[in-house]
Structure 1
Amino acid sequence: TKATQFFRSVYENHGSRGSKLILLPFNQASAKDCGSLVAHIYQQLKLDLDFVIPFGAISVVGPTLADIDSKSELAHRIMLTNTYRILGKIIDYKRAQNIRTRPCLAMLPLSPNHGTMGGDGLYAEAKLGLEALANKWHSEGWEDYISIGGAVIGWTRGTGLMAGNNIVSAGIEQLGVRTFSQIEMAFNLTSILHPRMVAAAAKAPLWIDLGGGMAQLHDLKVQTDRIRAAITDESKIRRASVDDRKKDSVGTTPEDEDDKPVLNRANMHNYYSQFPDLPAASDLARLGKDYKGMINLDKTVVIVGFGEVGPWGNSRTRWEMESFGVFSLEGCIELAWVLGYITYHNGPTKSSGDHYIGWVDAKTKDPVADTQIKALYEENILKHSGIRVVEPELFDGYDPKKKMFLQQVAVDKNMRPIEVASRDEGLEYQKELGEENCDVFELD
């Protein structure tokens, strides 16, 4: 799966000597899975947890206090109830094994949204419930086994929970609230795993505010609705303006004028084609004068160019993989073209008939933007590049796994006769092996 490939690449690029990456199927909505996961870690793998990051969640949009549904309850169980269960099981195993000097740091996903956005079911209740663990740490007597690092996660663009609000992010930032990309927030969260933070959390629960000022915007719901409505109105106005211009243009274009204008050439991005510096004519003339009469041009090998062809393509794409371990957009474009996934097109498209200049899919002939090539073809490019086993479909069915090997065997006594189809075939064997080593006779 893509998830497995992602984690494998993370391990290959960042795993240190002796490290292991263990992936297990897990459903945080299942109480049984919560118990089985912790039991597997402590009983089967014989490991002890240093960190636990229970970030499982599902998006709930719409339900208010008056119409809480089963999905809201499911989300609450994932984000709160079963998070408690996981931490409780860790405490049980640590206590049973008397592991008191290495508390597990639980990074809790808190939120500045305590009902200010509304229409999100029991989301706020789940986050408030997680905040209660900071008080339970002092009162319930498990501070030797679990330490708490509560991260107040602000407006993070592009996540599953906030995908529906991406469109209003720019407007929210104009109100003074800092929004974060997924990479920015992930980087901030990793700081909680620093040894100094771990040592501080062992003394008392930590409250890490990464909210970006979101908690200070008390009318967040009102402002979000206002921004969304303004965007919707602007979209309607622009759509109406475009439709109006189309209606105005009807009948104004001369009949002999092509109403399908040539589109601009597709963006070539950072395409590069290096070419060596050629010597000037004067340099060549001087060189020829020095060696005149000494070289037989009829027998001289002249190198007019050179190039590299290998498992990773040419020198440019090979260097990208060797130095960075990943192809750039330009590298993917070049290899997709070399492998025959895309072709360059200059003319009317197959689907609409519009004139198009740029890349098209080799099979469907549909236009493909440069920015889409890496996402569409990189997986197949990686499958068919690099050092790999011969692919039979690319070599007329030749399969190295089915290759026949011949082994020489010394025969020190006469073998039993074998029957062949005809006398002529027997004579062929005799010719190959010699008359002294092979007799041919007909059966009665």
Structure 2
Amino acid sequence: MRTRPAALGVAAGVVLLVVGALLGRPDVAVLGAAPLVAGAWDLRRRPAGDLAVTISRPTLAANREAGSLRAAVQVSAPHGAVAALVGVRRAGRDAAEVLVRVDGRRELPLVVHTVRTGPQEVATVEVQGVGPGAASVSWPTEPVDRTALVLPLPVPLRDLPLPPRLHGLTGPHESRRPGEGGGLRDVHPFAPGDRLRRIDWRVTARRAPDLRELYVRREHAQAEANVLLVVDSRDDVGPDPWTWRGAEGPRPQDPTSLDLARQAAASLAQGYLALGDRVGLDDLGVRRRPLPPGGGRRQLDRIRHALALTRPAGDPRSRLRPPQIPSGALVVLFSTFLDDEASHVATQWRRAGHRVLAVDVLPSLRVRHLDLKERLALRFVMIAREDRLAALADHDVELVVWRDDPAVALARMSRRGRRRPGAGVPA
């Protein structure tokens, strides 16, 4: 279609031509002939055809703080089009608008920086073609959008806590039962079933010089840990408390509590799986089959993919009992603890004899813009939350605040788990 300036130029040429003919002024008529000739020429070379726009599949190039989604916008224009006006929107807001030259086909790079994880919109693109001399433009194309599943990026952790009981006949950790591969357990007289290579000749020579009795060295067995990661997906709140009511979502540049939970769970999964332990995943907000404990690189990929798909799914039914977990497993619960559900199941797990770690994933709050009533309401909510965390500590549930330095807290808990009963350590 013609643009408004081109249409006004043709209309002005017609008016000048008519006025010059009526008044007998050839000079005025000549002035109107130029816009008419230009308009006819533009009409003849006006492009004919449809525009087409596609967005390639995005790839994620991530670092520790944020991720960058990289894609390509491909614009195909009909013969004669010289330019295209490309508009990009994200999260319902205009992100960029650029006029680019098009010679049949043009590919534009699209880079989106995000701090969020899980399924999200990459961008929505609309394109409008421009003819020669900007005398004609096309109707905007239908909006083309593209979504991507952003996996949580693990952060490296140092020492990690272990459950009180280890399983398996082999593994990366030293257990308390006798076996092979671990540290020295004791020196014992030779008995049926002991191997000859376990004989300690120095102890034998010291205790039985006449070799009437042989002494063997016995070791601790190696074993692996079972770790169950439990994510509370019922809450997905941002750092602005006034968005918690649900009328308006958190800002795109702010990571939410569920984003922190995904990152924390992926980081712990990577740390335990790198040691050779078995890690499983469950969701406290959804009634579905959990991901059973497993090991290896593929298990980490499965956990990251399952974490990326974790999201609030309506108002879940209250649980009468906590999810069943393997015997002697270490339970790590990721929650904001804004209600009693997560603290209740953590207490039940601890009473059943499991070691339970509660990871607080509530973001750092921004309260400067809140009015007096909102501050008072937030204070009541935070007082109730602090009471829940204090009750968890009374039940011997260990707390880790992820927004602080979690590596230090986890390393301290790992040293506590290595202490054996005896030497002033209560059983």
TM bracket, shorter-chain basis = under 0.3
TM-score, with normalisation over the residues of structure 1? 0.22
Query: RCO higher in 1 or 2 (8 Å CA, sep ≥ 6)?
Result: 2
TM-score, with normalisation over the residues of structure 2? 0.23
